[in-house]
Structure 1
Amino acid sequence: MARDALTSVELRAVSGLASLYGLRMLGLFMVLPVMPLLLQEYEGATPLAIGLVIGIYGFTQALLQLPFGWLSDRFGRKPLIYAGLVVFALGSLVAATADSLLMLTLGRALQGAGAIASVLMALLADLTRDERRTQAMATVGISIGLAFIVAMAAGPWLAGWLGLSGLFWLTALLSVFGMLLVWRWVPSPMQQRRHLDAGIDPARLKDVVRHPQLLRLDLSILLLHLLLTGIFLAVPLLLQQAGWTLNQHGWIYLLTMLLGFFTMIPLIIIGEKGRKMKAMLLLAVGLLLVSLLIMTSSLSWLLLPGLWIFFTGFNLLEASLPSLISKQAPVAAKGTAMGVYSTSQFLGAFVGGVAGGWVLTHWDATGVLFGAAVLCGLWLVLLLGFQPPRHLSSRVFSLQVAATELPALREQLLAVPGVVEVVLLAEESAGYLKLDRQQLDEALLDSLLERQG
């Protein structure tokens, strides 16, 4: 087998866990574009109550994601994954059989309480070699993006056929399928350990949340998902008012999201290759601002180009922000920084649902979009002070030397041109590097790593 190829165990781990991530995304987001329309028939269906139903999963997920990760270090990955999927399925059943907004809110809260995202990433790290982990995590990221597109498009189509209750029944079935996937397909690790690039270290939380540049990125993902959840209290109503049926909503989301994805690709290449990531961040938020103003127009056909521009900015930020977190975080705190980032994302979804519902209570759907545009303006001001990180890449490798030899190995690695930061952990049998690829003597680095032991 080629040195860089995934092993059969790694292929099963990556395919199984990427699929599980995707199934959870489908379950959570299929209902996002339809609930503002289908919940209006419930007693007490105020905009604020509907916003709470939509966003409450983000609160419980943000609250429990880090504890789930810590518990998995003690009790094992798969037991916590099974527990989370059972809670997620239970929440789906509660929502499927709900006859009131209160029970729907409880069901959505339980869905979010199955907060296994950090556990899935830790299991992925347990089952992949250090040098293949970045590739594995990128595959999971792609599955999440694809699942989001499918969920937004399929939600309106399936809701027209199954109704809202049927969507939740389908979500419960997907949870059961996810458990079967973990049982029969995803391998069990021979050993589990903490990983700097995938685990969360409580001792480093304080430093991560105080880091001014990481804080700007955490606030950015919070604001992005606040906007997504908030405006999707308004957009389905505006599409309905423009005369489009629920089934047509699915085609509109599919078209505009795909256009946004393909428009984003050259922009992310310019940002990464041209090292203009701050400019791309500002451009992305600017696109969100412009799209929101376009969608406030009285010309209903402008909703389509508005959504295209919105999803271009959204996709650009979704692709850029995790990369910037990875580059900005100290190598010993990368996993912790990603954990805080994910928690901020879920918290943003909760705040967006509640805030969007409150605005819709006092104004109309256009008022929600105007409010979101004002928030984008403030966000641009926040990003003006952002200092882009050095354009560094990460590399993880397996340690094959005794603990007593680590200091000497560290000095040898730091002497290699282009090696900026080195962390060696005997308890993980892993080394973590930050590299400047423009200055790196890759042949010397490879030779040094191959000569270990």
Structure 2
Amino acid sequence: MTSRPADPAANQPLKLKLTAQERHASMMLALLFAARMLGLFLLTPVFAVAALSIPGGDDALKVGLALGAYGLAQAVLQIPLGMASDRYGRRAVVVAGMVLFVVGGAVCALAPNIEWVIAGRVIQGLGAVSAAITAWVADATRPEVRTRAMAMVGGSIGLSFAASLVLSPVLTGKFGLSGLFWAITLLGFVCLLIAAWVVPAVPRTPTPIVQVRLRDVLTHGDLLRLNFGVFCLHFILMAIFMVAPVMLAERGAYQAAQLWQVYLPIILMSFVFMVPVVFVTETRRCHRGTLLVCVASLVVVLAALAYPMGLWATVAWLVAFFVAFNVLEALQPSLVSRLAPPSYKGLALGLYNTTQALGVFAGAAIGGLLVSRGYAAVFWLTACLALLWYVVGRRMGAVQGPSADKA
């Protein structure tokens, strides 16, 4: 085994605090990402019922298309817009995407029937800026603190989901379905302003832009493993939440409007436990090990949830689920940004976000098909998928330190 030359920087202590600019950029970009995820999540708790108030809303297929159109449109354009952000800059792509988000929200709010809601959701999804935002976070932070910055963005997904459970019934009850869409539109407009003027500019890399082929990313084994991982993660999330609301309502005698009282503590407690895991991962640079431990934890948690249990045991297992989920949500895009060369970082993150969107769509669809077979069928399927993910993840190579991001 050949020895590597000593790196003087390796003996220097890592500065694991975000600088003021890194913290500001990460917080603003996390807010942008949260707005995008709210566009996906906010309708989920109420739309099947609220859609009955508009013509065509009693057609289950069209209602499903309205919910899924956003994710499918996102999946189609994540890669092209990720590549565009490499070439034309992150801010330009994000601003254009937020304009589409606002326009699509207005179309939905003014929609006279379900067909126009579908059209509006497609327009919203065409602004697929998740990859550009994630790449912007990578550009704005040093590698040694990037997982913490990604945790802000990844955590925004959990917060968005929790917020949707609380806000959606309240907004729909007060202002109707149209009012819910106007709230989404207003949030998008605020984020458009943030993207245009508040997020600090990041110096462009001196690396010249080169022609990058999709094959360059598709033949990168570790990036493919991370893509498979995010597909599994979001498939699992959406599939289990096809059964979790009914399961919690039955075990805790909750009404649907009261379920946020259970979800919110679960999400907040999971964030508390997530923080030390992220800190240890950064200080010890054990990214691959943390990933495997979290995926193995998902296997155990999902298998446990397949068995009958009381409310508090269910809540405890769901807290464990969201600890692993939030860590993986932060860790995986950070690993993508480390492994992808600068010349196609946006493309790599675009493919990553594409598979994430596909996981959301597939998890909801297949989870819905399995609901009739009982809760256990959904949990056993997701446990098996997590086990397959663990097997695939074990083949990942060792992740280099912060310098790998500059290679």
Q: Confirm or deny a common fold (TM above 0.5).
A: yes
Deviation of 1:106 (Å): 3.6
Q: Tell me, what secondary structure is at the counterpart of 1:298?
A: coil
Structure with bigger helix share is 2
Structure 2 CA distance for partners of 1:188 and 1:379, relative to 1, 3 Å = closer
Q: What amino acid sits opposite 1:150 in the alignment?
A: L
Match status 1:30 vs 2:42: yes
Aligned ranges for residues 208-247 of structure 1 at < 5 Å?
Answer: 208-242=217-251, 243-247=253-257
Q: What amino acid sits opposite 2:273 in the alignment?
A: T
- Separation of aligned partners in 2, 1:331 and 1:312: 30
Match status 1:349 vs 2:360: yes
Deviation of 1:271 (Å): 4.4
- Separation of aligned partners in 2, 1:187 and 1:213: 31
Aligned ranges for residues 381-400 of structure 1 at < 5 Å?
Answer: 381-389=391-399, 391-394=400-403
Aligned ranges for residues 60-139 of structure 1 at < 5 Å?
Answer: 60-71=73-84, 80-97=93-110, 102-120=115-133, 134=143
- Separation of aligned partners in 2, 1:121 and 1:97: 31
Deviation of 1:52 (Å): 4.9
Q: What amino acid sits opposite 1:45 in the alignment?
A: A
Q: Which of 288, 305, 328 in structure 2 is aligned with 1:295?
A: 305
- Separation of aligned partners in 2, 1:324 and 1:388: 11
Deviation of 1:263 (Å): 2.5
Q: Which of 324, 329, 338 in structure 2 is aligned with 1:318?
A: 329
Structure 2 CA distance for partners of 1:219 and 1:43, relative to 1, 3 Å = same
Q: Deviations for 1:70-123, whole angstroms, at most 9, x for unmatched residues?
A: 445677765544432232123223444557655444433322211123444666
Deviation of 1:171 (Å): 0.6
Superposition CA RMSD, Å? 3.8
Structure 2 CA distance for partners of 1:37 and 1:337, relative to 1, 3 Å = same
Q: What amino acid sits opposite 2:350 in the alignment?
A: G
- Separation of aligned partners in 2, 1:40 and 1:235: 23
Q: Deviations for 1:4-44, whole angstroms, at most 9, x for unmatched residues?
A: 99688x88766544433333333333334555676688413
- Separation of aligned partners in 1, 2:280 and 2:201: 40
The equivalent of 1:169 in structure 2 is 182
Contact kept, 8 Å, 1:226 with 1:348, in 2: the verdict is: yes
Q: What amino acid sits opposite 1:28 in the alignment?
A: L
Structure 2 CA distance for partners of 1:112 and 1:269, relative to 1, 3 Å = same
Contact kept, 8 Å, 2:148 with 2:330, in 1: the verdict is: no
Q: Which of 144, 149, 161 in structure 1 is aligned with 2:153?
A: 144
Q: Tell me, what secondary structure is at the counterpart of 1:299?
A: coil
Contact kept, 8 Å, 1:81 with 1:120, in 2: the verdict is: yes
Higher relative contact order structure (alpha carbons within 8 Å, sequence separation ≥ 6): 2
Structure with bigger strand share is 1
Structure 2 CA distance for partners of 1:53 and 1:373, relative to 1, 3 Å = farther
Q: Tell me, what secondary structure is at the counterpart of 1:86?
A: helix
Q: Tell me, what secondary structure is at the counterpart of 1:203?
A: coil
- Separation of aligned partners in 2, 1:252 and 1:382: 34
- Separation of aligned partners in 2, 1:94 and 1:363: 37
Q: Which of 192, 203, 212 in structure 2 is aligned with 1:203?
A: 212
- Separation of aligned partners in 2, 1:273 and 1:74: 33
**Which has the higher mean CA deviation after the structures are superposed, 270-279 or 174-183?**
270-279
Deviation of 1:220 (Å): 0.5
Deviation of 1:296 (Å): 3.0
Match status 1:179 vs 2:226: no
Q: Which of 20, 44, 55 in structure 1 is aligned with 2:59?
A: 44
Q: Deviations for 1:405-451, whole angstroms, at most 9, x for unmatched residues?
A: xxxxxxxxxxxxxxxx7xxxxxxxxxx745xxxxxxxxxxxxxxxxx
Give unmatched runs, 5+ long, in structure 2: 1-16
- Separation of aligned partners in 2, 1:331 and 1:90: 32
- Separation of aligned partners in 2, 1:299 and 1:313: 21
Deviation of 1:312 (Å): 1.6
Q: Deviations for 1:128-156, whole angstroms, at most 9, x for unmatched residues?
A: 6xxx5558966753442443333222222
The equivalent of 1:253 in structure 2 is 263
The equivalent of 1:438 in structure 2 is none
- Separation of aligned partners in 2, 1:76 and 1:323: 19
The equivalent of 1:411 in structure 2 is none
Structure 2 CA distance for partners of 1:200 and 1:286, relative to 1, 3 Å = farther
Deviation of 1:184 (Å): 4.7
Q: Of the two, which has the highest radius of gyration? A: 1
Give unmatched runs, 5+ long, in structure 1: 395-420, 422-431, 435-453
TM-score (norm 1): 0.70
Structure 2 CA distance for partners of 1:239 and 1:303, relative to 1, 3 Å = same
Q: Tell me, what secondary structure is at the counterpart of 1:144?
A: helix
Contact kept, 8 Å, 1:37 with 1:237, in 2: the verdict is: no
Deviation of 1:53 (Å): 4.2
Match status 1:284 vs 2:301: no
The equivalent of 1:380 in structure 2 is 390
- Separation of aligned partners in 1, 2:276 and 2:143: 22
Q: What amino acid sits opposite 1:222 in the alignment?
A: F
Q: Deviations for 1:225-278, whole angstroms, at most 9, x for unmatched residues?
A: 111122222222323334223343223222112222232334444545455544
- Separation of aligned partners in 2, 1:257 and 1:200: 41
**Which has the higher mean CA deviation after the structures are superposed, 148-157 or 265-274?**
265-274
TM-score (norm 2): 0.77
Structure 2 CA distance for partners of 1:378 and 1:117, relative to 1, 3 Å = closer
